[in-house]
Amino acid sequence: MVVVMSQTTPAPSPTTASSARWLTLTTVAFAQLMVVLDTTIVNIALPSAQADLGFSDGNRQWIVTAYSLSFGSLLLLGGRLSDLIGRRRTFITALIGFAAASALGGAAPSFGLLVAARALQGVFGALLAPTALAVLATTFTDPVERRRAFGIFGAIAGMGGAIGLLLGGILTENLSWRWSLYVNCVIAVIAVTGALFFLPHVERTGPRPRLDVPGTVLISAGLFSLVYGFSHAETHGWGNGATIGLVIAGIVLGAAFVWWQTRAQHPLMPLSIILDRNRSASYLSVLLAGIGMFGIFLFLTYYLQATLGYSPIKTGVSFLPMIVALVFMAQISSNFLLPRFGPRVMVPSGMLFAAAGAFWLTGLDLNSAYFPGILIPLVLMGMGFGQMMPAAIQTATLNVDPRFAGVASALVNTGQQVGGSLGTALINTLAASAATAYLTSHQPASQQVLAEAAVHSYSTAYAWVGAFFLFGAVLAGLLYRSRTETAQVIATTGTGAAEAEPVVMH
């Protein structure tokens, strides 16, 4: 008898494979940090950019809005493209595009070119953010490693905005506002190098599904209308006709998208992804957390700079205790608490910590000291974000069919982006109304009264943020399955994911 043995490439050792996965996480973390910090890093640089380029206060918002519009409206398309054309290829393309757009914005000689560059950043950010999370979700399948990886990723998602404030202040004061954009090129070089060496190349061996063009048009137009409507409300009010029309259009287009997904041959987003209770609870939790986080970053930054007179760098440093608490709690909750208690406990309790911090801030006045009035609530909110974000993000991508990991990941980013846009617009409107009411009842409007009105408006904002967190805690507690219910669902239906198409990895 002759035995014929086929020659195969030796499989990598478990230690080598594990090291490669953690290097993949490092690469993905750099990309995620670049996308998230860009939501706030430019805010600190805006006054300097305005003085340099000479644009008006009315046009200033477009530096922020251009990014959020393109980013928010194209996220689901970006996530689906990463599923269709390959995550490694998409990831590298998006990194290079984001860096090129950042370089263009940093060198912009005019307001128009800066806005165009920010919009282009948003386009590539919408391609990069869901791809990064999808890479993580499909790379880490071992439960222990997955918890650690998502703890790190969730911490970055939660603290990126605060890091943006700190980094923006340092770069603007010591170099130039242009470096708040140029810094992305440095981060992108590191991430692209890591991607070339550590991200696996995956070849699809089955038939390549087609892009759902009608679904893409519907959801992109719907998200554009919503995000633009929220931005429009921030400057023109919620009673403005254009604001109402945009929000209604966004809702109608979103409903049409859901209807189409039930009939499309190749749906952009299979409804089974969001019909799972745990995943839908995660997406809503991320949305409500986005409302609260961006609201706190915005109004506490106003308070520190305008009321207490902090410099941009000192303002950024003031958020460091929150970052430390967030990173610490993200690791503790992901590795020890989440496996024991599940998201039904971790997400609502995180929301309650964040609510406590927000309500604490309502007691600030014109002469409050950093300790305890600001430090303790920042630590409380950092603990809250560290509990809720990794748990929600990990649950949102758990047991998703690998063919749709990109679009499932995009829903996480969409929730955070829409929540941030809604929170900024809604809470800013509520705060402005509170300031107007205070001035009306405290005439004449001296400098002291104006300062008190500003602090009163900030307190109103913190109170609403706390209310959103409380609502999120109740909603998450009701929607998430208990650990027993989750175990029963898995035992009945398997993992909950459909069979993946065969792939070949190199």
Q: Are residues 250 and 373 in the same domain?
A: no
Query: What is the pLDDT at residue 63?
Result: 81
- Cβ-proximal residues to 387 (8 Å cutoff; 6+ apart), any chain: 329, 330, 333, 337, 346, 347, 349, 350, 353
Q: Are residues 242 and 376 in the same domain?
A: no
Neighbour-count burial of 124, counting CB atoms closer than 10 A to its CB (0-12 exposed, 13-18 middle, 19+ buried): buried
Q: Are residues 345 and 415 in the same domain?
A: yes
Reading the block at residue 284, the tokens are 């809503």
Instruction: Confirm whether 93 is domain-assigned.
Output: yes
**Predicted confidence (pLDDT) at residue 102 exceeds the cutoff of 50:** yes
Share of the chain above pLDDT 70, in %: 89
pLDDT in tens, 146-173: 888 888 877 777 677 777 878 888 888 8
- Return the CATH number at 349: 1.20.1250.20
Point out which residues pair with 24 in neighbouring strands. none
Classify the phi-psi angles of 240: left when phi > 0, otherwise alpha if psi is within -120 to 50, otherwise beta.
beta
Mean model confidence pLDDT for the chain: 82
Q: Are residues 232 and 371 in the same domain?
A: no
Share of the chain above pLDDT 90, in %: 24
Query: What is the pLDDT at residue 185?
Result: 92
Q: Are residues 173 and 216 in the same domain?
A: no
What's the CA gap between 432 and 414, in Å, rounded? 27
Instruction: Confirm whether 7 is domain-assigned.
Output: no
What's the CA gap between 88 and 506, in Å, rounded? 11
Q: Are residues 313 and 239 in the same domain?
A: no
Instruction: Confirm whether 504 is domain-assigned.
Output: no
Residue 493: pLDDT band by 50, 70, 90 thresholds? very low
Query: What is the pLDDT at residue 86?
Result: 82
Instruction: Confirm whether 313 is domain-assigned.
Output: yes
Instruction: Confirm whether 503 is domain-assigned.
Output: no
Residue that is last in its domain, among 223, 241, 267? 267
Q: Are residues 43 and 165 in the same domain?
A: yes
Residue that is last in its domain, among 240, 267, 294? 267
| CB-based contact 172:180 (threshold 8 Å) | yes
**Predicted confidence (pLDDT) at residue 203 exceeds the cutoff of 70:** no
Residues 450-464: what's their mean pLDDT? 92
Q: Which of 78, 178, 64 is nearest to 125 (CA)?
A: 78
Instruction: Confirm whether 77 is domain-assigned.
Output: yes
Query: What is the pLDDT at residue 2?
Result: 40
* Residue 232 backbone dihedrals phi, psi, to 5 degrees: -65, -35
Q: Are residues 67 and 99 in the same domain?
A: yes
pLDDT in tens, 238-250: 888 898 999 999 9
Q: Are residues 22 and 57 in the same domain?
A: yes
Q: Total structural domains in the chain?
A: 2
Task: Kindly list the distances between the CA atom of residue 105 and the CA atoms of 84, 158, 160, 173, 179, in Å, as whole numbers in the listed order.
Answer: 30, 25, 20, 18, 10
Instruction: Confirm whether 190 is domain-assigned.
Output: yes
Residue that is last in its domain, among 248, 267, 286? 267
What's the CA gap between 128 and 188, in Å, rounded? 11
**Predicted confidence (pLDDT) at residue 481 exceeds the cutoff of 60:** yes
Q: Are residues 155 and 247 in the same domain?
A: no
Query: How much is the pTM?
Result: 0.79
**Predicted confidence (pLDDT) at residue 69 exceeds the cutoff of 50:** yes
Instruction: Confirm whether 471 is domain-assigned.
Output: yes
What's the CA gap between 200 and 407, in Å, rounded? 19
Q: Are residues 169 and 207 in the same domain?
A: yes
Q: Are residues 286 and 232 in the same domain?
A: no
Q: Which residues form the domain of 156?
A: 17-211+268-495
pLDDT in tens, 341-383: 889 999 999 999 999 999 999 999 998 899 888 999 999 999 9
